[in-house]
Amino acid sequence: MFVVNLSGGGLVLTPPTPEDVESITRCCQDEAIGRWTTMPVPYRLADAEAFVTKVVPAGWADRSPTWAIRRDPNGPVAGMIGLAARDASAAEVGFWLDPAMRGLGLMAKALNLVCDFAFRPDTLALERVEWRAFVGNAASAAVARRVGFRFEGIVRAGGLQRGVRRDMWVAGLLATDPRAPASDWP
């Protein structure tokens, strides 16, 4: 798959590079990122190096792109967002944001950019983007709801986090859905 940078709404999304390893490591020391993701805890420099040099390139090669969220093209990493292909017409989105950048509306803007890219017929041409989060991750749910994802339910023991099965919330956004806050969330 071709590598694409995305921009809009005061954001630039680019694949993370080795120059971002220290910034990614610093961000991932945040307790909330560890609580709500499946990444290693504690998160070390070697984890960020493996992510940038192995996971990200393999994902781009397999229709599962990952972008670093930046406020300007040469700026530091403010967060990360990516798609994991589920099949030829659907992917799951995942994201995290530096604690210093939360509450500014950046993640909703980034999620809209990624969904626009995902649904375009000349890129991934997806029909569905799925959002999943461990039950209780209200901040992530607020972003998904704001972008228009429709709440679909709870998957019991639907996620594995560092060896422990946890319940997951699930929501979906179809290419034909309006991009307005969804009202069907609990």
Predicted confidence band of residue 2 (pLDDT cuts 50, 70, 90): confident
In contact, 120 and 49? CB cutoff 8 Å? no
Write down the pLDDT at residue 153. 97
Identity of residue 16: P
Identity of residue 85: A
145-177: per-residue pLDDT in tens?
A: 999 999 999 999 999 999 999 999 999 999 999
pTM of the model: 0.95
CA 84 – CA 127 distance, rounded (Å): 14
DSSP letters along 43-63, please?
--HHHHHHIIIIIHHHHHHTT
95-133: per-residue pLDDT in tens?
A: 999 999 999 999 999 999 999 999 999 999 999 999 999
Residue in 86, 79, 137 with CA at minimum distance from that of residue 110: 79
The pair of structure tokens assigned to 7 is 């921009």
Contacts of 79 (CB under 8 A, 6+ apart): 27, 68, 69, 95, 96, 97, 98, 101, 106, 107, 110
Write down the pLDDT at residue 6. 97
Q: In this model, does residue 1 exceed pLDDT 70?
A: no
CATH topology for 6-129 is Aminopeptidase (3.40.630)
Predicted confidence band of residue 92 (pLDDT cuts 50, 70, 90): very high
CA 167 – CA 155 distance, rounded (Å): 6
Write down the pLDDT at residue 82. 98
The pair of structure tokens assigned to 151 is 């709440």
Write down the pLDDT at residue 71. 95
CA 114 – CA 82 distance, rounded (Å): 8
Give mean pLDDT, residues 86-98.
97
Alpha helices in 10-159 (DSSP H): 21-27, 31-36, 45-50, 56-61, 106-119, 138-147
Identity of residue 60: W
37-86: per-residue pLDDT in tens?
A: 999 999 999 999 999 999 999 999 999 999 999 999 889 999 999 999 99
